[in-house]
Structure 1
Amino acid sequence: MKFSVFTASTPEWTPEEAATTLAAQGWDGIEWRITDQKDAAEPGFWAGNKSTWPLTGLEKNLGRIADITSTAGLKYSGLGGYARCDNHVDVERILAATARLGAGQVRVVALPLGTAAMGGEPTGRDYRDLFAETREHFSWVAERAAFHGVKALLELHHQTVTSSPSSALRLVEGLNPDHVGVIHDLGNLIVEGGEENLAGLQLLGAHLAHVHVKNAVWSRQPVNGSDAAWKHEWSTLRGGIADVPSYFKSLAAVGYDGWVTVEDFSTELPLVERTADNLAYLRSLASRT
């Protein structure tokens, strides 16, 4: 296995700091976050993230991305794109950028559920219509990915039409796995879409293209003063609900030997300690399988 870090989880570091620090710790690769984000007074995972490359003007930054990555001696595990599958202009750009960098693969985002408020008001649309539309868009994505000689990645993600391995397989079935694959995301499956890990990995078969690892817990939190609701919170890899050691055994059982990308959104440890500990932990797990 090869291990990398998604830079959504390294908000305090500039690209140069992220690459040099991760390389010094012994990581094999890096997965650059690419999106236009909001400014923030303090660096955060989703706004003001210093190691995020803006989608606006991306093409002008490709040389710098390549230089920083290669100088540190890191490989690309892929690109962490946020272009939605129905935004064909941006999808085309991110696929072309992936090809120019030699990054191999890039995430393309599925449509959100009709009940989801992901960057706007919920649409209220029927799941069946959203799923069919997403499938149509990914058929186009597969053609464009083939044209560019890269692979588009569909992530298992809560509040989208593909939160589970079963739903993702339905969406990509019949599409060329050389150009459309699935990201199995252990932490996201804690939030929504959870299926037994080995079964889910087996189900995806040739479409299992990439792995994201993070962890989460559920906690009861006050709502509106007196009511309470269960909500998820991101945790350390060691401290969440997901059984990470068992997960690595499942990956070994299906013969997965590709990239494992960490996106740890916990804050209990300082960032440099967090990334170093995660690598030591994951390597220890991989050595046992």
Structure 2
Amino acid sequence: MKFAAFSGVFMAHSIQEAMKLTKKLGMDGIEIAAREPHLSSTTSTPRIQEIKALAADLGLEIPVLAGYMGGFSTASDRECEQAFSDFNRLLEIGGELGSSMIRVSPGGPNAFMAYDYHYAKAAHWLNKCAEMAQKLQIKLLLEIHNESLVETVDSSLRLLKLTQHDNIGMIHDVGNMYITETDYGRDSIVNLDKHLFHVHVKDEIRVKEAGAPGTFLNLTHRGQEAFLQSRLGEGEADHQPMFDALKEVGYKGWITLECHAPFPAYERLNHDFQAVQKMLSKE
């Protein structure tokens, strides 16, 4: 397995500083959040070349560009066309940076509120994205995420069955799945099977109300709930069964750490990286 830092954790830093801190952490690569000030579909060619050169100098890979475009299931046709255009530009950037995966959003609403037409529309546009990505041998990533069509393994497979390309797969995310209250242990890894393309790691905990640093609100099957972003071991999302399952199935892909707990960015990622290594070392 290879480890990457999520540049979104370092949004208070420039992308250059984020890359240097990732190297200092001892990670293999950086997953770049595709939004400014780090990177976007409007980023200039000289800055892309600068990022590429710095990655080479640091010996860092850029396996994933974490796009925020999409939302196809509920967007208008014009909005979908714009998202598709933005995706194609990010695809070009990914090819230049040597990225093998790009994240897109299928859209919402929560899976338990969605209808067949939401899945059908998302699949239509995802197929278009996947067809373009396939030309560059790049994989399309959908993140198992609360408040989306793909907030469980079952709803993820429901959408994937409507797609026509084998370069579309899932990001497993225990933190998100904890929020949804869906299984995120061994069965979730085994059931995703060949559709497991990537892994995100972060911890969360339910709290009584939002407002304090690191807290946020989310719509779940219970209604609006409050959560606190936490460092691994300080929240309620138990990652050990997931890591055990990754070893069991022989997962050889990337794991991105994206802790957003209210601590300095380097400190929280360093804490989580050490925690992950301990979990992986357990027999």
TM range (shorter): 0.7 to 0.9
Structure 1 stretches lacking a partner, 5+ long: 37-49, 116-124
Post-superposition CA distance 1:131-177 (Å, at most 9, x none)? 11111111212211111221110111111111111111121236433
From the superposition, tell whether residues 210 and 58 of structure 1 become closer, same or farther in structure 2 (CA, over 3 Å): farther
Amino acid at match of 2:49: G
Residue number among 155, 162, 165 corresponding to 2:150 in the alignment: 162
Which residue is equivalent to 1:210? Answer: 198
Which residue is equivalent to 1:34? Answer: 34
* TM-score, with structure 2 as normaliser: 0.84
Size of the aligned set, in residue pairs, is 260
Which residue is equivalent to 1:245? Answer: 240
Whole-angstrom distance in 1 between the partners of 2:228 and 2:44 = 32
2:231 pairs with 1:236: yes
Secondary structure of the structure 1 residue equivalent to 2:199? strand
Residue number among 115, 132, 136 corresponding to 1:148 in the alignment: 136
Which residue is equivalent to 2:48? Answer: 62
Which residue is equivalent to 1:220? Answer: 208
Secondary structure of the structure 1 residue equivalent to 2:141? strand
Contact 2:174 2:202 in 1 (8 A): yes
The offset of 1:214, in angstroms, is 0.5
Whole-angstrom distance in 2 between the partners of 1:222 and 1:77 = 34
The offset of 1:126, in angstroms, is 5.4
- Give percent identity, aligned residues only: 27
The offset of 1:114, in angstroms, is 7.6
* TM-score, with structure 1 as normaliser: 0.83
List structure 1 runs of 4+ shifted beyond 4 angstroms: none
Residue number among 40, 51, 68 corresponding to 1:82 in the alignment: 68
Whole-angstrom distance in 2 between the partners of 1:211 and 1:114 = 21
2:5 pairs with 1:10: no
Amino acid at match of 2:115: Y
Whole-angstrom distance in 1 between the partners of 2:54 and 2:240 = 33
Structure 2 stretches lacking a partner, 5+ long: 73-79, 212-222
- Aligned residues: CA RMSD: 2.3
Question: Which sits farther off after the overlay, 168-177 or 200-209?
Answer: 168-177
The offset of 1:206, in angstroms, is 0.9
